[in-house]
A and B are shown apart, each in its own frame.
Chain A
Amino acid sequence: MSPIPTRPLPRPLRVCLTGLCLVLLGAATASSALETRQVRIGFVGAHDGDAMRGASQGIDEANAQGRFLGWHYELVPLADAAAARGAGVAMIVADAAPATLRALADAAAPAAVINVGAADDALRAACLPNLLHTLPSAAMRADAEAQWRRKHADTTATARAWHESFRKYAAAQLNRRYETRHGQAMSDVAWAAWAAVKLVSNTIATHGEAAPAQVHDMIRGDIAFDGQKGADMSFRDTGQLRQPLLLVDGDTIVGEAPVRGVADPGDLDTLGLAACAR
């Protein structure tokens, strides 16, 4: 919990240009600069897809935080479940089919696998020990839409995890950062992948631990994650990230769920499967 001082290099080294100075630089780094610890985050999914873009955004922001604390994050693409075994990663972000996710979770244990692309309800109901989900499940979206219909009998809206026109709760800042870096709008999957990396890096910053089993334990706790949607988010025992959803009609955000008036806006467990069956 103690702060780690960040110091600029001493002036003589800042002006150093020659090879000779590299020797001095090495000595100075060892004695005065912050020791940097590497954190490898595994990635399974298309190399040019929204999940990769979102995860990369998360890595950028993790490093913006980590440079003050001595952590450096790196995304490590993994070909398949077999590659996850012994990959030395703190956790894995995965955009894959349900069967692949199950195999990955099996192979990666005790590291957590965070599903950012599959809305499949059976995956949540399976309550696998190390499979987590930042993308909302199909049931969460259906519940949000049903709440909307109960309040506004004559209209329908589509539930989304994220939307490019979302501005409240500093969503505008995240949308702008993402669009600046990637030249396109942040999708639901991109948000889920960004959130997966960011909630892990925040937890590592808070606890000062990055071993896979500890990371999994820590993120399962009361993380109060800020997904830039105004609520404090944490994982259910199903592995699903509790979160508010946006209700969108055409290209316009018309509301947020839980829908005030038909549900308690503070009770995120009114959306989807709240807990594992006992």
Chain B
Amino acid sequence: MRTAIFTLLIAAACASHAAGGRVFVSNERDDTVSVIDATSNEVIATVPVGKRPRGVGVSPDGSEVYVAVSGDNAIAVIDPDKLEVVRTFDSGDDPEAFAVHPNGNIYISNEEDAKASVYNPRNGEKIAEIEVGIEPEGVAISPDGSRVIVTSESTNMLHIIAVPEHEIVANIVVGARPRAATFSADGKIAYATSEISGEVKKVDVATGTILGRMPLADDKAKPKDVLLSRDGKRLFVAGGRANSIFVLDADTLEVLDTIGVGKRVWGLALSGDGKRLYTTDGVDHQVSVIDTERDDVVATVPVGQFPWGVAIDD
């Protein structure tokens, strides 16, 4: 009987942790991370992390949350249960965006150094360093982990890096100031946003062929983050100055829907079930929560100053 009750308690505790998960949002000007309960859409904690936090990511097992603390040249590790920074490690100069590999390593763009670096976040060791173009920014990893894309903003390129060799195998020229990229589920296609040319490009990763281009808001959007829906059919693009999320057909790049959110929307994260999309609306200091079945904003959550990165641990 006692065991049964104990088991129930444990199950209840786990369920409350898992239900909807938590959304971690870096506030670039506040030096904090806001933690939003995804069920109530309320901020349940504000964690001080260090100067100018930007990229956010979750370890594959959900046991750790990583934050690129650009101003401190470090990665801060947040314990998602304690909701506090449990350790930090040196990440090279000015870490901006990063992505977590299925094997747990993280791939970071070091903006000032024209390098991408690979770290084992468990011990803070640097595994590799790859020279890329000027002002590297977006990082994406193919679902099977065999390829990494780093975008270099002032060199207008997607660098395709092979894993585990950590060598560049191709360089694909795209529009001006490429900011973010994402892979299709099979890793064969990549989508990239270019801020200055105001467009999304679809590329064949193996051949580098540009398969399509879609200007957003007459080239005026200044798009940033880009993500595919869980079924791979729709592409979500954070429209920056267009203050909207663009929903594109992943095949044709046709704009299917435009969802108005707050000002200067930069960051995107999708829930595990794909039903909720979280956006960081930089100048409005808020996160918008979108129901992806209705393509509607169902909640806006005030966070810190200039929210930048967002990740969910569900």
Contact = CB atoms under 8 A, between A and B. Distances in A.
Bind each other? yes
Interface of A: 1-8, 61, 64-65, 68-69, 170, 173-174, 176-177, 202, 205-206, 224-226, 228, 230-232, 266
Given A170-B153, A176-B112, 14 more contacts: A4-B171, A6-B171, A7-B167, A64-B133, A68-B155, A177-B134, A206-B173, A224-B175, A224-B176, A224-B219, A226-B153, A226-B177, A232-B197, A266-B220
A143 B176 CA distance: 27
26 contacts: A1-B173, A2-B207, A2-B208, A2-B209, A3-B170, A5-B169, A6-B169, A6-B171, A8-B167, A64-B114, A64-B133, A65-B133, A65-B156, A65-B157, A69-B173, A173-B112, A173-B154, A177-B134, A206-B156, A206-B173, A224-B175, A225-B176, A225-B196, A232-B176, A232-B197, A232-B198
Contact of B160 (A2, A3, A61, A225): A3
B243 to A, nearest CB: 14
Nearest to A69: B171
B302 to A, nearest CB: 25
Interface of B: 111-112, 114, 133-135, 153-157, 159-160, 167-173, 175-177, 196-198, 207-210, 219-220
Nearest to A206: B173
A61 B210 CA distance: 24
Contacts of B173: 1, 69, 205-206
A170 B209 contact: no
Contacts of B209: 1-2
B171 A3 contact: yes
Contact of A65 (B155, B172, B196, B220): B155
9 nearest A-B pairs in the assembled complex, by CB-CB distance: A3-B208, A3-B170, A226-B176, A224-B197, A68-B171, A226-B196, A65-B155, A226-B177, A232-B196
A171 to B, nearest CB: 11
Contacts of B133: 64-65, 68
A266 B219 CA distance: 11
Contacts, number: 83
A226 B154 contact: yes
A176 B134 CA distance: 12
A226 B155 CA distance: 10
Nearest to A2: B208
A224 B154 contact: no
A230 B175 CA distance: 14
Contacts of A65: 133-134, 155-157
A93 to B, nearest CB: 19
A173 B135 contact: yes
A65 B2 CA distance: 67
Contacts of A226: 153-154, 156, 176-177, 196
Contacts of B135: 170, 173
A124 to B, nearest CB: 24
B42 to A, nearest CB: 33
